[in-house]
């Protein structure tokens, strides 16, 4: 029986959702693992929809990841099927056959090729996913699809998530207003090595698949690839971005770098905000979370080095448990910096918590008063800043504390 997990204390209310023209979606309880729980999501996109995607770097990916990677070069999408509760991962030939059967069933409903159907799966690893429960539920689900089905879809992809995750922004392309809206799921097994959970974003903008891919690949680097709950990268991670073209904005003729093209500047900014919002919602729902950690690193030899240092701090069990215990133990931050293998110098290092500089140039600040830092540690959002004093590299990452709640959830995950 599914666990009843209290809603995260850091949950945020769902924003007012919009309509993305050219996409209908919905969810249904298909009984894939649990009874009476929504666990199957279907989205149908208008003909001409382009798509971009990024996928887990795990060497043991799920069959849906392989499926999506294989069809992505076409750059076209007409449908998306996502199931929750039982991941189609480490299931051998049976997993591949489930992908084929699911894609064919959805393609028949959407009147398209199976190679235009994208698949995703989340839940328990290593148990055969019963394809017939998906394929038998799809017709009724397809009949009920709605352009207002975003909240149902967001709830339908949840596993140990305690609240649905949705983000929305509007942008302008050559004078035409477009909308960008997305959903995500993720609570545990969250560590960046691509996307680190499932996220599906759609826009009614008209953009080539190549442009979408460049924007998405760049956008995740400072969003989904900068979050960590527990340092574990899932076998099923993916982020997909669909553009239906229904807004009919003027064509983008990209003669310059997509990432600097002024005609795409507003859209690019809005997309990055949606990705950022979804990524932070995942962290706010970290398993057992009571505190959100924001980690800024500066003074590194490069941005990439700063990122590795930030992630080392965010992944450290000792840092995370200190935060859970509201202990301003800055020595654990120094430990995490020193162990990660990146250039660092004890005698140029500075550490701040809650905006208060605690240590500078290799030693505690003279006259340091811990009182405001102790007060900061009692809050729900903890700010940690480290300056390595070596260069101009900067990075920001987000993590959460590590509590008994995390153990409780994962110790009984399959029950």
The SS3 of residue 108 is helix
Instruction: Judge whether 8 is annotated as a binding position.
Output: no
Final residue of a domain: which of 284, 318, 333?
Answer: 284
* Average pLDDT over every residue of 125-133: 90
**211, part of any domain:** yes
Spatial separation of the C-alpha atoms in residues 172 and 83, rounded to whole Å: 33
Q: Which tens digit of pLDDT belongs to each residue from 292-347?
A: 999 999 999 999 999 999 999 999 999 999 999 999 999 999 999 999 999 999 99
Same domain, 272 and 323: no
pLDDT of residue 60: 87
Same domain, 35 and 142: yes
Final residue of a domain: which of 221, 253, 284?
Answer: 284
**376, part of any domain:** yes
The total of structural domains in the chain comes to 2
**367, part of any domain:** yes
With cut-offs at 50, 70 and 90, classify the pLDDT of residue 1: very low
Residue 134 Cα distances to 97, 145, 320, angstroms: 13, 16, 39
Instruction: Judge whether 165 is annotated as a binding position.
Output: no
Same domain, 245 and 346: no
**5, part of any domain:** no
Tokens of 277: 């919002």
Domain that holds residue 334: 292-411
The SS3 of residue 38 is coil
pLDDT of residue 4: 67
Same domain, 278 and 161: yes
For the question of residue 196 being annotated catalytic, the response is yes
Same domain, 98 and 125: yes
**7, part of any domain:** no
Same domain, 103 and 210: yes
The CATH number linked to 337 is 3.10.20.340
With cut-offs at 50, 70 and 90, classify the pLDDT of residue 138: very high
Final residue of a domain: which of 284, 314, 338?
Answer: 284
50 Cα distance to chain centroid: 21
With cut-offs at 50, 70 and 90, classify the pLDDT of residue 388: very high
pLDDT of residue 256: 75
pLDDT of residue 349: 97
Return the H-helix or E-strand segment holding 397.
Answer: strand 393-400
**17, part of any domain:** no
pTM above 0.85, yes or no: yes
**312, part of any domain:** yes
Instruction: Judge whether 83 is annotated as a binding position.
Output: no
Q: Mean pLDDT lowest for which of 10-19, 44-53, 62-71, 233-242?
A: 233-242
**16, part of any domain:** no
Instruction: Judge whether 269 is annotated as a binding position.
Output: no
Average pLDDT of the chain to the nearest whole number: 93
The catalytic position among 91, 160, 162, 196 is 196
């Amino acid at each position: 029986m599914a666990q009843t997990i209290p809603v995260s204390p850091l949950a945020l209310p769902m924003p007012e959702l919009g309509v993305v023209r050219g996409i209908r979606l919905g969810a249904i309880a298909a009984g894939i693992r649990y009874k009476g729980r929504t666990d199957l999501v279907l989205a149908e996109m208008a003909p001409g929809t382009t798509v971009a995607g990024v996928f887990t770097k795990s060497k043991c990916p799920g069959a849906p990841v392989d499926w999506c990677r294989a069809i992505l070069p076409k750059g076209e999408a007409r449908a998306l099927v996502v199931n929750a509760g039982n991941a189609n991962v480490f299931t051998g030939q049976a997993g591949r056959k489930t992908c084929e059967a699911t894609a064919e069933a959805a393609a028949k409903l959407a009147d398209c090729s199976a190679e235009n159907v994208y698949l995703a799966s989340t839940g328990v690893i290593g148990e055969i996913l019963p394809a017939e429960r998906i394929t038998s539920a799809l017709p009724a689900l397809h009949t009920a699809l709605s352009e207002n089905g975003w909240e149902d879809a967001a709830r339908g992809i949840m596993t140990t998530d305690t609240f649905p995750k949705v983000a929305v922004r509007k942008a302008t392309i050559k004078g035409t207003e477009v909308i960008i809206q997305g959903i995500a799921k993720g609570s545990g097994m969250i560590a960046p090595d691509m996307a680190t959970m499932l996220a599906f974003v759609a826009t009614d903008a008209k953009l080539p698949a190549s442009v979408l891919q460049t924007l998405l690949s760049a956008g995740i680097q400072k969003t989904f690839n900068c979050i960590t709950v527990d340092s574990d990268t899932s076998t099923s991670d993916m982020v997909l971005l669909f553009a239906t073209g229904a807004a009919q904005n003027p064509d983008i003729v990209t003669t310059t770098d997509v990432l600097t093209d002024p005609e795409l500047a507003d859209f690019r900014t809005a997309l990055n905000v949606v990705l950022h919002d979804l990524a932070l919602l995942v962290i706010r729902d970290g398993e057992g979370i009571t505190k959100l950690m924001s980690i800024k690193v500066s003074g590194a030899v490069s941005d990439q080095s700063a990122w590795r240092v930030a992630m080392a701090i965010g992944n450290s069990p000792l840092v995370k448990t200190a935060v859970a215990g509201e202990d301003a133990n800055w020595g654990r931050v120094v430990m995490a910096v020193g162990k990660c293998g990146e250039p660092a110098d004890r005698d140029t290092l500075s550490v701040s918590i809650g905006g208060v500089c605690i240590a500078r140039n290799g030693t505690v600040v003279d006259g340091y008063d811990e009182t405001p830092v102790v007060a900061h540690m009692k809050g729900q959002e903890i700010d940690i800043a480290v300056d390595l004093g070596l260069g101009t590299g900067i990075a920001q990452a987000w993590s959460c504390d590590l509590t008994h709640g995390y153990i409780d959830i994962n110790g009984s995950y399959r029950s």
